[in-house]
Amino acid sequence: MSTENTTPGISFTDLNLSAPLLRAITEAGYTTPTPIQAQAIPYVLRGGDLLAGAQTGTGKTAGFTLPILHILSGSPLANQGKGKPRCLILSPTRELAAQIGESVTTYGKYLPIKSMVVFGGVGINPQINRLSKPIDILVATPGRLLDLVEQKVLDLSGIEILVLDEADRMLDMGFIHDIKKILAKLPKQRQNLLFSATFSDEIKQLADTLLNKPDLVEVARRNTSNALIEQSVHMVSQSLKRDLLSHLIRSRQWQQVLIFTRTKHGANRLAEKLVKDGITAMAIHGNKSQNARTQALAEFKSGGITALVATDIAARGLDIDQLPQVVNFELPNVPEDYVHRIGRTGRAGSTGAAISLVDREELKLLKDIEKLIKLEINKVHVADFTPPTHVEADPDRPPRAPNQGRQGNHGKAAQGKAVNAHQNRQGKPSARAGSPAAASTASAPRQPQQGRTQPNQPQSRPSSPQPAASANHTPPSGARGAPAKGALFSPRPAAHQTKPRGQSSGNR
């Protein structure tokens, strides 16, 4: 299959789309469809089921929104019921749902099609009020959708077209049970479209149960990265990553960079460091309110801030034209997440750069990524970076209670899935087990709780305290813990435990 980002010799006028759609497409600045659009649109217009594999940034959203708008506008209903949509588009994240909603509005501006977007994290009453009117296209996250169905303000019996977008991410986030509940409420006769950036055994199983003799569209080799993205690795000790990243942003004069961290705490700490160094930066993650996340994304898109630090909650749905830089501050535990992360750059035919800061203890994760994308990523030495004499120590994190592990908001542990699904239905961000539900992500670290143990559990012995690095103390030359001049590695106080593949980090 072709991996080009445009389709030579084919224009949108060749795809048999209606005149109002072509007018909106032209006003949006597009003339030539991407490969996923050129191949998917005719199949969707024919009315059959479709399984489509495409990397992020290939224009797949328009690949299903354009033909859906054409179909629905060509066969309007005489008496459409209130709160009874004809098309349901499911999205794993709020950001992606909002992006899809924007595409529907942009391309359907000259059509009599009514659409709305619903997701958790915001008040449900305005959504209930909007559903008291007729609606054609509903874009939703699974949890909030089920909430509205249970409150009997949403009727799914009229669905003619179902779209599962970023289906692999929905499975990663533990939404499979919610998806099954939703499928049980839909009419059996409908058109099904499944879009996924990666293909796993779970995706194949879902496709087998959902799709009926589907057409298959793939615009690139499975589980590969975009050829337009220049990928590189900087080998660096974990303790020096913040300083190296700050140096790269300032010395390379990066104006817009998206940075992925593994944890919420790490995102906050990194954003604080960058701001301290004179770089405008903000962090977004699951503990941030929806309004705060929306504001941060808007400022980043408009160029108001240079660096946006995010956990994988933003890996899907963040659509920025010509985003030049993506940085993996830490490698993801799941190799497929690397593909999704770097897919934020190199979009719509533009080139981009993806840089990963890799500690020696992440080399296993790097090998897994290179095996998945079938590419050895170039390792580049940053010659003009001089490690600081004093390395700022991370503040202590509160200890976990016995037998209490991490629970991420899209981990694959059964308990993590249940917590995530429940909290999404309640419109609340996920929180780490044992922490207050309304815990703030303020920059100040949480303090250890003294003298508390779990019921019926033996009290564990406190671990020996680690000596904190002092800003006023310089280790003698050659002493343990002092990085050699020009070296990017320094010994770490404790070994880093790498989670098995497929288990999500718990503080995203």
Tens of pLDDT along 412-434? 444 444 444 444 444 444 444 44
- The pTM (predicted TM-score) of the whole model is 0.58
What backbone phi and psi angles, to 5 degrees, belong to 221?
-60, 145
Domain 12-218: CATH architecture, name and number where available:
3-Layer(aba) Sandwich (3.40)
Which strands sit side by side in the sheet containing 115-118, from one edge to the other? 115-118, 137-140, 87-90, 161-164, 191-196, 50-53, 215-218
pLDDT of res. 169: 79
pLDDT of 251 over the 70 cut: yes
pLDDT of res. 222: 52
pLDDT of res. 56: 67
Query: 371: number of CA atoms within 13 Å, CB side?
Result: 8
From the list 261, 246, 269, 242, the residue with the least C-alpha distance to 442 is: 269
pLDDT of res. 462: 43
Structure tokens at 64: 């299903």
pLDDT of res. 224: 55
For residue 444, count other CB atoms closer than 10 A to its CB: 8
Provide the 3-class DSSP secondary structure of residue 239. helix
Q: Which residues are registered as beta bridge partners of 90?
A: 140, 164
Cβ atoms of 327 and 260 closer than 8 Å: yes
Counting residues of the chain whose pLDDT is more than 90, the rounded percentage is 48
Most confident of 23-37, 237-251, 415-429, 476-490: 237-251
Q: How confident is the model over 245-250, as a mean pLDDT? A: 96
Range of weakest confidence among 3-7, 54-58, 250-254, 409-413: 409-413
Of residues 116 and 229, the one with the higher pLDDT is 116
Name the CA radius of gyration of the chain, rounded: 24
Where does residue 202 fall: left (phi above 0), alpha (psi -120 to 50 degrees), or beta otherwise? alpha
pLDDT of res. 88: 98
pLDDT of 220 over the 80 cut: no
Q: How confident is the model over 163-174, as a mean pLDDT? A: 84
Burial class of residue 321 in the structure, from the number of CB atoms within 10 Å of its CB (0-12 exposed, 13-18 middle, 19+ buried): exposed
Close Cβ partners of 98 (under 8 Å, ≥ 6 residues apart) = 117, 119, 294, 317
pLDDT of 495 over the 50 cut: no
pLDDT of res. 221: 52
pLDDT of res. 225: 61
- Tell whether the torsion through CA atoms of 308, 506, 240 and 353 is positive or negative: negative
Counting residues of the chain whose pLDDT is more than 70, the rounded percentage is 71
Q: What is the dihedral of CA 430, 431, 434, 440, to 10 degrees?
A: -150
The fold adopted by the segment(s) 229-379 is Rossmann fold (3.40.50)
- Supply the mean pLDDT for the chain: 78
Residue 8 — pLDDT band, cuts 50, 70, 90?
Answer: low
Provide the 3-class DSSP secondary structure of residue 137. strand
Domain ranges within the chain, ordered by starting residue: 12-218, 229-379
Does 12-218 match 229-379 in CATH topology?
Answer: yes
pLDDT of 111 over the 60 cut: yes
pLDDT of res. 294: 81
